[in-house]
């Protein structure tokens, strides 16, 4: 069940429009059991733009007209989160406020229940958010969160290429940087990679850090996706 990551990456390679890319992404998250999705751009913990959203009728209009981003704990948590998180884990210290609990209640009434958010950090306070959620009461499948993260990062990279038309510089990784990232793709720890490549755990960390910096990635998953996309890491 679910979408194979390599298949999704391959299917996005020849997409020529943001609309077609969105269709592929929605099909991929649908295979994971999610029904709602949104791609938002934020700055300084406020919503700046909403390139697209696929929610039940009335939700987006209510969210924007009520300025819900001011109280939405998901937007606030994304500011310092370095990876995907379940909405139930977005609670600030001391728990959700009465206003936030009311917000979640109104979301459920509009057909937006449990979900996860993937933050992608840009320059300064700029953070792009990809959120997926359910329309019925249920808990988001946490065991597939890393997979959803990788699907979302690939979507974001391709979206930037299509919509933002960002120029992509040529990246050259050393053989050891490539090997370390390749084994990261297989879910190996630094220690396991060191054992496989017969190098120290510290050297693995060093090589991964260099590879991430060259690729402009702020974490390993993003680096792996970018490496695959650029043809540096085999599928």
Per-residue pLDDT of the chain (235 residues; tens, 9 = 90+): 567 888 898 899 888 899 999 999 999 999 999 999 999 989 888 888 889 999 999 999 999 989 999 999 999 898 888 789 999 888 877 789 999 999 999 999 999 999 999 998 876 678 899 999 999 888 877 778 888 998 998 998 888 888 755 445 567 788 888 899 889 888 889 999 999 998 999 899 888 888 888 887 778 888 887 787 777 887 6
How far is it, in rounded angstroms, from Cα 135 to Cα 109?
A: 10
Residues in the chain: 235
Amino acid 2: pLDDT: 66
Of residues 110, 105, 89, the one with CA closest to residue 36: 110
130 has which bridge partners? 39, 118
Q: What is the pTM of this model?
A: 0.73
Amino acid 1: pLDDT: 53
Of residues 78, 68, 93, 92, the one with CA closest to residue 125: 78
How far is it, in rounded angstroms, from Cα 196 to Cα 149?
A: 26
Quickly list DSSP for 68-122.
GGGT-HHHHHHTT--S-EEGGG-PPTT---HHHHHHHHHHHHTT--SEEEEEEE-
85-86: strand order across its sheet: 46-54, 36-43, 126-133, 115-121, 85-86
| Structure token pair of residue 197 | 């490549």
Contact 122, 134 (CB under 8 A): no
Amino acid 214: pLDDT: 82
Please say whether the dihedral angle defined by the alpha carbons of residues 195, 197, 203 and 208, taken in this order, is positive or negative. negative
């Amino acid at each position: 069940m679910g979408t194979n990551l390599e298949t999704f990456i391959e299917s996005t390679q020849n997409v020529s429009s943001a609309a077609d890319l969105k269709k592929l992404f929605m099909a991929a998250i649908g295979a994971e059991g999610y029904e709602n999705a949104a791609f938002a751009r934020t700055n300084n913990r406020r919503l700046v733009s909403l390139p697209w959203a696929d929610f039940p009728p009335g939700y987006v209009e209510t969210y924007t007209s009520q300025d819900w981003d001011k109280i939405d704990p998901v937007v606030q948590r994304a500011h310092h989160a370095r990876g995907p998180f379940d909405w139930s884990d977005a609670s600030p210290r001391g728990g959700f406020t009465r206003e936030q609990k009311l917000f979640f209640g109104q979301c459920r009434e509009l057909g937006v229940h449990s979900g996860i958010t993937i933050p992608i950090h840009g320059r300064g306070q700029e953070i792009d958010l990809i959120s997926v959620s359910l329309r019925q009461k249920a808990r988001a499948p946490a065991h597939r969160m890393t997979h959803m993260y990788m699907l979302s990062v690939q979507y974001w990279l391709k979206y930037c290429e299509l919509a933002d038309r960002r120029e992509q510089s040529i990246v050259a990784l050393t053989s050891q940087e490539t090997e370390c990232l390749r084994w990261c793709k297989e879910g190996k720890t630094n220690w396991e990679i060191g054992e496989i490549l017969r190098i120290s755990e510290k050297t693995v960390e060093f090589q991964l850090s260099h590879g991430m910096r060259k690729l402009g990635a702020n974490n390993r998953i993003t680096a792996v996706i970018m490496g695959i996309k650029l043809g540096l890491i085999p599928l």
